[in-house]
Amino acid sequence: MKALAAKKKSGNTVSAVWALAEKAASGTGVTIWDVRFVKEGADWFLRVFLDKPEGISMDDCVMVSRELNTLLDEEDLIEQSYCLEVCSPGINRELTRPEHFERFTGSPVRVKLIRPLPDGRRELNGELLSLADGEIRLQVDEEEVLTIAQKDSVSVRLLDDDFEEE
């Protein structure tokens, strides 16, 4: 119980839930894409995003959700009430972790920026070239390669392969 108390005090709910989610998903063929614990209005949501090469089914979500719910009840990691959502990150998934960027290098993405570039653009569509040292390299068109600090982006999402420049 001391380790549990330390986890609660550290405030690192996402890391603790990630470990439980991996345990819940073990042997199912799915991996954990992301875990988010967010407050929306007056409510808290614990969202666990699953992934696997052939896509996530409803059965995958139900199976992991049941097991994870049991583990969360046993560990009692989260003090406030919350809604557990176990789902797929979707086709236009958000890239947040270094391994996401590595896996989807060469893929079309949309980068939304916190502040506009000098030319006024706040959204960029292009091919993801890399993420290194906190900087995203993006091929916007044949002549333009941009380097953007990851901290200056609101989100980086995959696009369908047939994206159009805006």
Query: How do residues 53-107 score in pLDDT, each as one tens digit?
Result: 899 999 999 999 999 999 999 999 898 999 999 999 998 999 999 999 999 999 9
pLDDT at 161: 60
Residue 44 has pLDDT above 90, yes or no: yes
pLDDT at 160: 76
pLDDT at 143: 85
pLDDT at 37: 94
- Give the mean pLDDT of 24-34: 94
Distances (CA, A) of 84 to 14, 29, 161: 13, 21, 32
Place of tokens 């906190």: 134
Give the CA angle between residues 75, 79, 82 to the nearest 5°. 95
- Give the mean pLDDT of 40-47: 96
pLDDT band at 141 (very low <50, low <70, confident <90, very high): confident
pLDDT at 11: 47
Note the Cα 130 to chain centre separation in Å.
17
Please state the three-class secondary structure of the chain as a single string: CHHHHHHHHHCCHHHHHHHHHHHHHCCCCCEEEEEEEEEECCEEEEEEEEECCCCCCHHHHHHHHHHHHHHHHHHCCCCCCCEEEEECCCCCCECCCHHHHHHCCCCEEEEEECCCCCCCCCEEEEEEEEEECCEEEEECCCCCEEEEEHHHEEEEEECCCCCCCC
- Give the mean pLDDT of 7-32: 84
What is the spatial distance between Cα 102 and Cα 67, in angstroms, rounded to a whole number? 30
Residue 164 has pLDDT above 50, yes or no: no
